[in-house]
Amino acid sequence: MKRILSGMQPTSQLHLGNYLGALKNWVAFQDDPNAQCLYCVVDLHAITASYEAANLANATREIAAAYIAAGIDPDKSSIFVQSSIPEHSQLMWLLATMAQMGKLERMTQFKDKAGKNAERAGLGLFAYPVLMAADILIYKATHVPVGEDQKQHLELARDLASTFNTRYGVDFFPQPEPVIAGVAPRVMSLRDGTQKMSKSADSDMTRINLTDTPDMIAKKIKKAKTDAEPLPENLAGLDGRPEALNLITLYAALADKSKEEVLLHFAGKQFGQFKPEFIDLAVEKLSPITTRMNEFMDDPAQIDSILSDGSEKARSIASEVLAKTQEIMGFYS
Ligand code: TYM
């Protein structure tokens, strides 16, 4: 039996990178009869950066709405909020005693987010990957579908699982497998093909959000950076052309095709011919998700009820795993 766990932060709108790099792949797991899927909104991670307290609960609902709108079916998967399961934070502390500072210091996401001001970064930002390991291990998850940028964090989770097992002489936590799948595990900015598409980039023109209207999608694609060359007939012809590669990758991922197939279709054409087709495809694939998301957001009570059901199922696993972990560690009970 596989157990699948993943999550997204309610920091701001989800974008095409979140959707193609992760969420779209989560949906596929639901039809595996041997897989149990758990998808959470990681609000405790979101507060490691500055955030609006007045907006957090709504942003959390919005991510849940995006999950459902993108095809996560609450009858097949448990959808829940990280902070509603206190066992995540409890296991985090236990794992924190085994996490090495040196390894945490090497985490590229910490270095990027802390920037030059690492001395003033919060302990929560530093310990972020330990909480992520707890999110995974508290369910003894076997598979974790994420975008490529989470690979290093997953390595830490694997490391902590084996450190625990070795230290206590048990075979308790499985090694969680990162599942970095699909055509677009690393979606790049629309304005700079060497930078990751990200929620934190200053300009909204760098990303397509799941809440964008068709007009906004069209405007962003029209303004997306390209080069002057026509599209090549094979992948080798995209070498050194990061923006062209990114747009072809996005097209392929949205069309459920390979990049090679997309290139065969566009070989020799200019971006002026590619972009209108890309706009039509993006609007066709994304606007039903946006519409469903908006419908769910108009009915927060329904989202709350889905989250409450999901939380009940998740908690029954988490409380058992925590109790067993504490027993292995020798705690008084
Ligand atoms: P977050 O909220 O930054 O991103 C959510 C998911 O989207 C993927 N992603 C991308 N994929 C491709 N291209 C991009 N440009 C891009 N940007 C984001 C991320 O890889 C991720 O899969 N630490 C995690 C959240 C987390 C988590 C967990 C994930 C907390 N606990 C446990 C899995 C399991 C994060 O910050 O994701």
Ligand 1 atom, smallest distance to 5 CA: 34
Can you give the pLDDT at residue 280?
A: 98
CB–CB of 116/151 below 8 Å? Answer: no
Can you give the pLDDT at residue 87?
A: 98
What's the rounded Cα separation, in Å, for the pair 203 and 200?
A: 9
Can you give the pLDDT at residue 182?
A: 93
Flag whether pLDDT at 27 surpasses 90: yes
pTM of the model: 0.97
Mean pLDDT of 239-266: 98
Tokens of 47: 């507060």
What's the rounded Cα separation, in Å, for the pair 47 and 53?
A: 9
Task: Kindly give the pairing relationship between strand 2-8 and strand 35-41.
Answer: parallel
Select from 139, 154, 60 the least CA-distant residue to 107: 154
- Give the residue, by CA position, lying nearest to ligand 1 atom 37: 8
What order do you get walking across the sheet with 177-179 strand by strand?
Answer: 77-81, 35-41, 2-8, 143-145, 177-179
Q: How confident is the model at residue 13 (pLDDT cuts 50, 70, 90)?
A: confident
Flag whether pLDDT at 128 surpasses 90: yes
Q: Hey, is 94 helix, strand or coil?
A: helix
What's the rounded Cα separation, in Å, for the pair 46 and 188?
A: 22
CB–CB of 199/33 below 8 Å? Answer: no
Mean pLDDT of 256-275: 97
User: What 8-state DSSP symbol labels residue 232?
Assistant: -
Ligand 1 atom, smallest distance to 9 CA: 2
Flag whether pLDDT at 37 surpasses 90: yes
State yes or no: is 225 an active-site residue.
Answer: no
Distance 240 CA to ligand 1 centre (A): 27
CB–CB of 138/321 below 8 Å? Answer: yes
State yes or no: is 219 an active-site residue.
Answer: no
CB–CB of 44/78 below 8 Å? Answer: no
What's the rounded Cα separation, in Å, for the pair 116 and 206?
A: 24
Flag whether pLDDT at 19 surpasses 90: yes
Mean pLDDT of 140-150: 98
Q: What is the mean pLDDT of the chain?
A: 97
Mean pLDDT of 283-293: 97
DSSP letters, 233-282, are: SSGGGGTT-HHHHHHHHHHHHHHT--HHHHHHHHTT--HHHHHHHHHHHH
Encode pLDDT of 91-117 as tens digits.
999 999 999 999 999 999 999 999 888
Encode pLDDT of 311-327 as tens digits.
999 999 999 999 999 99
What's the rounded Cα separation, in Å, for the pair 57 and 54?
A: 7
CATH superfamily of 2-185+300-329: HUPs (3.40.50.620)
Query: To 5 degrees, how large is the angle CA 205–CA 255–CA 296?
Result: 65
- Which residue has 């972009």 as its token pair? 275
What's the rounded Cα separation, in Å, for the pair 15 and 27?
A: 16
CATH architecture of 204-295: Orthogonal Bundle (1.10)
State yes or no: is 111 an active-site residue.
Answer: no
Ligand 1, residues at Cβ distance < 6 Å: 5-9, 17-18, 21-22, 42, 45, 132, 135-136, 144, 146-147, 149-150, 153, 185-187, 196-198
Q: How confident is the model at residue 70 (pLDDT cuts 50, 70, 90)?
A: very high
Instruction: Kindly list the domain boundaries of the chain, sorted by start residue.
Output: 2-185+300-329, 204-295
Can you give the pLDDT at residue 201?
A: 84
Can you give the pLDDT at residue 158?
A: 98
CB–CB of 78/39 below 8 Å? Answer: yes
Can you give the pLDDT at residue 111?
A: 93
Q: Of the listed 113, 151, 225, 275, which one is catalytic?
A: 113
Select from 216, 208, 214, 209 the least CA-distant residue to 283: 214
CB atoms within 10 A of CB 229: 12
Task: Kindly give the pairing relationship between strand 143-145 and strand 177-179.
Answer: parallel
Q: Of the listed 103, 199, 257, 275, which one is catalytic?
A: 199
Diameter of the chain by CA atoms? 71
Can you give the pLDDT at residue 12?
A: 82
Identify the helix (H) or strand (E) that includes residue 174.
none
